[in-house]
Chains A and B, each alone.
Chain A
Amino acid sequence: MARIETHIHSDVLAMDTTVNIILPQERQPYTEDRRLKVLWLLHGGSGDETAWLRMSAAERYAVDYGIALVVPNGMHSCFTDMAHGGRFFTYLTEELPLILSHLFPQLSTERSDNYIAGYSNGGFGCLKAGLSCPHRYAAIGAFSAGNKADVPFAKDSSHRSHLRILAFGDGDLKNTENDLQYLAMQALTKKAPLPAIYHACGQLDPWRDLNQILQRFFSELEGNPFHYTYHEAEGLGHTWDFWEMELPRFLNWLGLKKEPGKFLAL
């Protein structure tokens, strides 16, 4: 297992940025020239590219399941193209895949091998990315995720309001590219394969209601076109012990199998 802190230049962001890569290492001699499945892991509002690696056992799950992790930094963007700031959505969904497929030829670029997950703001981010780019990701794992278009917005002097304006501007987000329901309806009209959606929330999450609004929307879609599944975890809130628990559950739900001893580990 290799952990690779990768410093790159992004033309889209017009700056240098850091992305962490976890690469399972096979035992030698190398035989099969197998491409690695990839899980893109997005952080929440207070995180960066180190959050998943420091606060959870993500690397241990990656080696168990033999999947590569790509853990980028989205700053305060919720992985959108910010109204006032960097174009993190374009970076994440267009530029970074190109950069990484060049630097790490083992990463599979097949849609069926690429999944995207995140917690909190990264939960919104992975839903936005997956619904906007159904050609890129086969499945989405959204932990503690609501639709930003459902969040009441008061333009005031609070820090919360300030961050909302930086990422999304001060307008209504209904029927924009930051409205997950709108993006889902758009994806449905594309007649392309849709990403499967795994959605989970802690019962004690202060934004449980936002998760539930999204749950009602997806549950009411006829024929469940996104293979949408939702559950709530008893006794857990908007915290790492919940996200830690959900990561391997999501990998199991994807149908990935543990391959004990196949990859080198600490």
Chain B
Amino acid sequence: MAWLHVHYHSEVLEMPTAMEVLLPEFIAGKDRRVDTPGPYPTLYLLHGMGDDHTAWMRRTSIERYLERLPLAVVMPAGQLGWYTDMACGKRYFTFITEELPRICERMFPLSPTRRDRFIAGISMGGYGAIKAGLRAPDVFGKAASLSGAVDIQNTLSRLDPQLAQDVFGNTNEIKGSRNDLFTVAKDLANASTSCPELYLWCGTDDYFYPDNLRFKSHLAQLNLPFTYEEGPGDHQWEHWDRQLKRLIEWIMLPSKTG
């Protein structure tokens, strides 16, 4: 793969920002490479709270798992923004769901269709990826969460109160809002738009495990398309590294919703 450290400018964030990008290297007839010249399907891979755009490259063997696959991966920086248009701060949701695909599809040989856009993340990034899938269902064909903070109300106690307020506004009103995944899932189930395929994995020793179980039941009740998996493990990179391999397999499966 070609590995790109990209420093670029975001008009939505109104600042320079950074991302890591992995692109298939195509040279016709050569070994070690993919056999299609693109444009490639793309996985937008989000980091967790306290990490930055380099986390996936440094903490996992991602490049090895992608070998020979016609799949590009974009790892953006989301700082502490919870991939949310902040009440008092930057517009990370708009950045992730609108501007980032626009910039990347301009800059690199990436497919500009919903069917070929995927989004996934861990922890805060799991929350961000599922929210992006549910609230921008016309942008992404699949959305996945590993150990995601899928119940944002239950997660508030883990956040600095000032940060929580800056990101989400009045935190007493978070339940039932457009930042509550239970609510946006229900809204989408009631709408005529088709839902991206969803994937959830959580470790059974993770503090987010009960939340993931409840969110899974919620999705089942709403009859939304999802795959749920779990296994031993807590909130650690060793599990996410292993699950990333499985996640990429799921991403590469032919889409059911078309």
Residues of chain A touching chain B, judged by Cβ–Cβ distance below 8 Å, are 1-9, 11, 23, 25, 27-28, 30, 98-99, 102-106, 264-266
Contacts and interface: CB of A to CB of B under 8 A. Distances in A.
A202 B147 CA distance: 61
Interface of B, helix, strand, loop or mixed by DSSP? mixed
Residue among A7, A25, A102, A265 with the highest chain B CB neighbour number at 10 A: A102
A7 B3 contact: yes
A64 to B, nearest CB: 15
B9 interface: yes
15 contacts: A1-B9, A2-B107, A3-B7, A4-B6, A9-B2, A9-B25, A25-B8, A25-B103, A28-B99, A28-B102, A98-B27, A99-B25, A102-B109, A103-B23, A106-B107
B7 A102 contact: no
A28 B11 contact: yes
Residue among A30, A105, A266 with the highest chain B CB neighbour number at 10 A: A105
9 pairs of A and B residues whose beta carbons are closest in the complex:
A2-B8, A264-B9, A7-B3, A5-B5, A3-B7, A8-B2, A4-B6, A6-B4, A4-B4
A27 B38 CA distance: 25
B32 interface: yes
Contacts of A104: 107-108
B107 A23 contact: yes
Given A102-B38, A103-B2, A104-B107, A2 B26 contact: no
Interface of B: 2-9, 11, 16, 23, 25-27, 30, 32, 37-38, 99, 102-103, 106-109
Contacts of A99: 2, 25, 27
Contacts of B106: 30, 106
A28 B8 CA distance: 14
Contacts of A1: 8-9
B32 A25 contact: no
A4 B6 CA distance: 4
A266 B9 CA distance: 8
Contacts of A2: 6-9, 107
A105 B6 contact: no
B27 A11 contact: yes
B109 A105 contact: yes
Contacts of A106: 106-107
Contact of B26 (A3, A4, A102): A102
Contacts of B4: 4-7, 103
A9 B1 CA distance: 8
Contacts of B9: 1-2, 25, 264-266
Contact of A27 (B11, B37, B107): B11
A194 to B, nearest CB: 30
A146 B108 CA distance: 38
Contacts of A11: 27, 30
A5 B3 CA distance: 8
Contacts of B8: 1-4, 25
A68 B102 CA distance: 19
Nearest to B33: A9
A11 B26 CA distance: 12
B11 A264 contact: yes
B246 to A, nearest CB: 26
A150 to B, nearest CB: 37
A11 B99 CA distance: 35
Nearest to B30: A11
A11 B33 CA distance: 11
Given A2-B8, A9-B32, A105 B2 contact: no
A136 to B, nearest CB: 18
Contacts of A25: 8-9, 103
Contacts of B37: 102
Nearest to A266: B16
B24 to A, nearest CB: 9
B56 to A, nearest CB: 15
B22 to A, nearest CB: 10
Nearest to B21: A4
Contacts of B109: 102-103, 105
Contacts of A23: 107
Contacts of B108: 103-105
Contacts of B27: 11, 98-99, 102
A25 B108 CA distance: 13
A30 to B, nearest CB: 6
Given A7-B2, A102-B37, 6 more contacts: A4-B4, A7-B3, A9-B32, A103-B4, A103-B23, A264-B9
A23 B26 CA distance: 21
Nearest to A102: B26
B107 A8 contact: no
Nearest to A95: B27
